[in-house]
Chain A
Amino acid sequence: MTPTHSFEAEEKVSALAIAPGGSEIAALLKNGKLQISSTAGKLLRSTAAGEAKAYAIACTADGRRIVAGCGKSLHVFDRSTGERLRSWTAQRGDIAAIACSRDGSLLASTDGYEAVKLWKGDGSPIRTLGSGIEVLGIALSPSGDRVAEGASDTKLRLFASASGALQHSLEFPMACPVLAFSPDGRMLAAGSVDGSLSLLDAVSGEAKGILGRHAVPAGAAAFSADGRRLACTGASINPWGAEAELKVWDLATKREAATPIGVSFLNAVGFAGAHPIVASARDKTISVWEP
């Protein structure tokens, strides 16, 4: 499907996020900048973010903050002004994934090899937790009380933030790098390298089954703000492999709608109300679908 919008960033894109509300796209560029655009491509704000090796970006669910992992450091930005509020060295290696609580008062980061690190939003360290086994993806519950970790050993682990204690460990056929908590924190969506998207009870750890399946590894997932819909993209990592799709499920009826988005490795997903949005980046080009 042809994208709704397509525009060029000033440099190659290395990480993407869709801000809550679905009106803005936040992109980390390989020239070390954070660029915030409208979904139609109008440049709204641009600020120096840090190193060019910037692979992780997230927006807090309350819409107020953008958190970026650039090299070994975490940076927190005011989303409305683009102003960098604070930065600190977070990991030994380049940050591979980050997660935020709803208001950004709790943050989590990983470089993929060290144990996951929990931080207060002001940069104070809280603890390390996690398996320390090649972590591929992390998520923080909206309240910040739980951390979900998807590792290369195909296990999805849930930890209590306050104590660091392992609460649940589930084994999947393949690793689940894509993790998203529902807005009420009760459900966890887990997108796997084998393309499946599973739902779990985030409190009991009970698996609720596979919601659907992509032909390529899962790329990004997000719940709508009212928790009634779930969107997940595939990530086609090889131009010779299958193409990616955006899939959206109504969680009450389990009805699925799919939109092809082509060869798309780097992508982000969000909602504008009940409407899904997916953004995909290839080199400098950002494409946005609003099916």
Chain B
Amino acid sequence: MAFHLSRRDLLEKCAAAGLLLVAPPLTIAEIAPRLEDGVLTPRRPTPPNDLGPFFKRGAPRAGKLAPEGAPGLPLSVSGQVFDTRGERLSDAVVEVWHASHSGVYDNQGFNYRGRPPLDGNRYGFESVMPGHYPDRVCQHVHYMASAPGHKPLITQLYFATDPVFEGDPDKNFGKDPLVHSRELVRPVLISGDPGSPRAIVSFDLVLERG
């Protein structure tokens, strides 16, 4: 349900009308964000996407997916796992896999494959930016997420910096026939030293109950 006033405006209006008293040293600015702690925010489910032919069973629990010294732009991806009611799913299992910098999947071993452990409902992994390979247009990371009482989610993450999108993913996300949703194309933050930049991406997962 949408409200017209922000939390802070609501508190200030109530305080001005004598309907709210805030005991010092607390201030309205400090307490406004915590006003709705414990209230769930409904979320849209993450759009699904193809599983693809390169899923491999038995991936290890791992947060570092690339072998030592692997070529490619270092990549950090993290996010939270929710359900559509907004519940934080700390019992979720997240599995990811992707191609190497040169667009090759490790089908004989488990490089670039793993089940990053969760910290609460937050997952994160480090790897390298996957390369392009024939038969797929865009760089991508495959995801499989599951949690008790929820439908499994199979999806893919794409990168707004992919040259295929020509700097305009809103217009060009459909250049890959498998990319059905703009939501799966995530912005990329480049951070670090000039000599060792790193790509940082945030990608929350929202599972449907079922």
- A residues within 8 Å of B by Cβ? 133-134, 136, 152-154, 171-175, 177, 193-195, 215, 217, 237-241, 265
The verdict on B125 contacting chain A, using a C-beta distance below 8 Å, is: no
With A173-B58, A174-B107, A194-B108 as contacts: A238 and B133 at CB distance below 8 Å: yes
With A237-B134, A238-B133, A265-B134 as contacts: A153 and B104 at CB distance below 8 Å: no
Q: Flag if B104 contacts A174 (CB, 8 Å).
A: no
Expressed in whole angstroms, the Cα–Cα distance for A172 and B56 within the complex equals 9
Partner of B134, one of A133, A152, A194, A238: A238
Interface of B is mostly: loop
Q: Flag if A153 contacts B107 (CB, 8 Å).
A: no
**Residues of A contacting B104 in the complex (Cβ-Cβ under 8 angstroms):** 238, 240-241
Most central of A133, A154, A215 by chain B CB within 10 Å? A154
Q: Flag if A154 contacts B134 (CB, 8 Å).
A: no
Expressed in whole angstroms, the Cα–Cα distance for A215 and B108 within the complex equals 8
Partner of B133, one of A154, A174, A237: A237
A248 to chain B, nearest CB (A): 22
Please provide the 7 A-B residue pairs with the shortest distance between their CB atoms, ordered closest to farther: A152-B51, A194-B107, A240-B102, A241-B104, A174-B56, A238-B133, A175-B53
* Closest Cβ neighbor of B51 among chain A residues: A152
Q: Flag if A174 contacts B57 (CB, 8 Å).
A: yes
Expressed in whole angstroms, the Cα–Cα distance for A154 and B135 within the complex equals 20
**Residues of B contacting A195 in the complex (Cβ-Cβ under 8 angstroms):** 107-108
A97 to chain B, nearest CB (A): 12
B145 to chain A, nearest CB (A): 15
**Residues of A contacting B107 in the complex (Cβ-Cβ under 8 angstroms):** 174, 193-195, 217
The verdict on B103 contacting chain A, using a C-beta distance below 8 Å, is: yes
B16 to chain A, nearest CB (A): 59
**Listed A/B pairs (27) with beta-carbon separation below 8 Å:** A133-B51, A134-B52, A134-B53, A136-B53, A152-B51, A152-B53, A152-B55, A154-B56, A171-B57, A173-B57, A174-B54, A174-B55, A175-B55, A194-B56, A194-B108, A195-B107, A215-B108, A217-B53, A217-B107, A237-B133, A237-B135, A238-B133, A238-B134, A240-B102, A240-B103, A241-B104, A265-B134
Most central of B51, B134, B135 by chain A CB within 10 Å? B51
Expressed in whole angstroms, the Cα–Cα distance for A195 and B133 within the complex equals 18
Most central of B50, B107, B134 by chain A CB within 10 Å? B107
Q: Mark B47-67, 1 if CB is under 8 A from A, else 0.
A: 000111111111000000000
Expressed in whole angstroms, the Cα–Cα distance for A40 and B118 within the complex equals 59
Partner of A193, one of B54, B58, B134: B54
Expressed in whole angstroms, the Cα–Cα distance for A177 and B102 within the complex equals 23
Q: How many residues of B are counted as interface, with CB atoms below 8 angstroms from the partner's CB atoms?
A: 17
**Residues of B contacting A240 in the complex (Cβ-Cβ under 8 angstroms):** 102-104
Expressed in whole angstroms, the Cα–Cα distance for A177 and B53 within the complex equals 8
B102 to chain A, nearest CB (A): 5
A156 to chain B, nearest CB (A): 13
Q: Mark B25-67, 1 if CB is under 8 A from A, else 0.
A: 0000000000000000000000000111111111000000000
Q: Flag if B57 contacts A134 (CB, 8 Å).
A: no
**Residues of B contacting A238 in the complex (Cβ-Cβ under 8 angstroms):** 102-104, 133-134
- Known pairs A215-B108, A237-B133; list 16 more (Cβ under 8 Å): A133-B51, A134-B52, A136-B53, A152-B50, A152-B51, A154-B57, A174-B55, A174-B57, A175-B55, A193-B107, A194-B56, A238-B102, A238-B134, A239-B134, A240-B104, A265-B134
Q: Flag if B51 contacts A153 (CB, 8 Å).
A: yes
A177 to chain B, nearest CB (A): 6
Expressed in whole angstroms, the Cα–Cα distance for A240 and B53 within the complex equals 19
Expressed in whole angstroms, the Cα–Cα distance for A151 and B205 within the complex equals 25
Expressed in whole angstroms, the Cα–Cα distance for A195 and B53 within the complex equals 13
A218 to chain B, nearest CB (A): 10
**Residues of A contacting B102 in the complex (Cβ-Cβ under 8 angstroms):** 238, 240
Q: Flag if B51 contacts A134 (CB, 8 Å).
A: yes
Partner of B50, one of A134, A194, A217, A237: A134
A170 to chain B, nearest CB (A): 12
B74 to chain A, nearest CB (A): 20
Expressed in whole angstroms, the Cα–Cα distance for A195 and B108 within the complex equals 8
Expressed in whole angstroms, the Cα–Cα distance for A177 and B52 within the complex equals 11
Expressed in whole angstroms, the Cα–Cα distance for A215 and B109 within the complex equals 11
Expressed in whole angstroms, the Cα–Cα distance for A134 and B52 within the complex equals 8
**Residues of B contacting A237 in the complex (Cβ-Cβ under 8 angstroms):** 133-135
Expressed in whole angstroms, the Cα–Cα distance for A134 and B53 within the complex equals 9
A282 to chain B, nearest CB (A): 11
